[in-house]
């Protein structure tokens, strides 16, 4: 190989390696699996707890949850498994009906605020409408209170979720 060609190839290879890597974000293709606790979410999809993930690992990434392979939970900016994990019962109920998104059972933090419509629910708490949330935003398709500015992040599709109690 000619010396100038080698130099050009070497410079190009070093330049490509120095490019910043794209920021990891959840894949919106699995939005139907967010928050249902059925273990159907694929690696790279958004999650509200490890119960959503087939891998059983909902890793924290930029303040949100993303399903991760165990062993990769600290790669690409992820901060380990356990995002949103707390005592979890698949398809728990609030009163006599399933809570929004299949989670939010009587033992879950904020469950007393689901469906009240008085703006008492905190961000990430379950909701049945925007009126439940202190932020005024019940995010689609998961039925969880969100900051308005983050209503389209981590697989969310904006405010205005409407569920039934």
Whether 98 and 80 map to the same domain: the answer is no
When pLDDT is averaged across residues 143-158 and rounded to a whole number, the result is 85
Any domain includes 119: yes
Whether 162 and 116 map to the same domain: the answer is yes
Q: Residue 93 pLDDT more than 50?
A: no
Any domain includes 163: yes
List the domain range (segments joined by +) for residue 111: 87-165
Q: Domain count of the chain?
A: 2
Whether 91 and 79 map to the same domain: the answer is no
Whether 107 and 48 map to the same domain: the answer is no
Q: What is the rounded distance in angstroms from the CA atom of residue 78 to the CA atom of residue 30?
A: 19
Whether 58 and 112 map to the same domain: the answer is no
Whether 23 and 45 map to the same domain: the answer is yes
Structure confidence at residue 146 as a pLDDT band (50, 70, 90): confident
Whether 96 and 112 map to the same domain: the answer is yes
| pLDDT attached to residue 96 | 31
Whether 71 and 134 map to the same domain: the answer is no
Q: Model's pTM, two decimal places?
A: 0.43
- Three-class SS state of 90: coil
Contacting residues for 137 by C-beta, under 8 A, at least 6 apart: 130, 145, 146, 147, 148, 151, 159
């Amino acid at each position: 190989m000619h010396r100038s060609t080698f130099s050009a190839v070497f410079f190009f290879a070093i330049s490509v390696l120095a490019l910043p890597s794209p920021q990891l974000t959840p894949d919106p293709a699995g939005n139907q699996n967010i928050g249902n606790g059925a273990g159907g979410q694929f690696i790279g999809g958004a999650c509200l707890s490890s119960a959503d993930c087939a891998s059983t690992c909902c890793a924290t990434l930029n303040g949100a949850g993303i399903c991760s392979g165990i062993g990769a939970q600290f790669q690409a900016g992820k901060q380990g498994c356990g995002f949103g994990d707390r005592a979890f019962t698949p398809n728990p109920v609030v009163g006599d009906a399933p809570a929004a998104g299949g989670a939010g059972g009587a033992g879950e933090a904020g469950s007393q605020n689901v469906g009240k419509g008085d703006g008492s629910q905190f961000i990430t708490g379950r909701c049945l409408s925007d009126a439940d949330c202190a932020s005024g935003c019940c995010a689609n398709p998961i039925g969880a209170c969100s900051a308005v500015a983050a209503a389209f992040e981590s697989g969310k599709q904006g405010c205005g979720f409407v569920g039934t109690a």
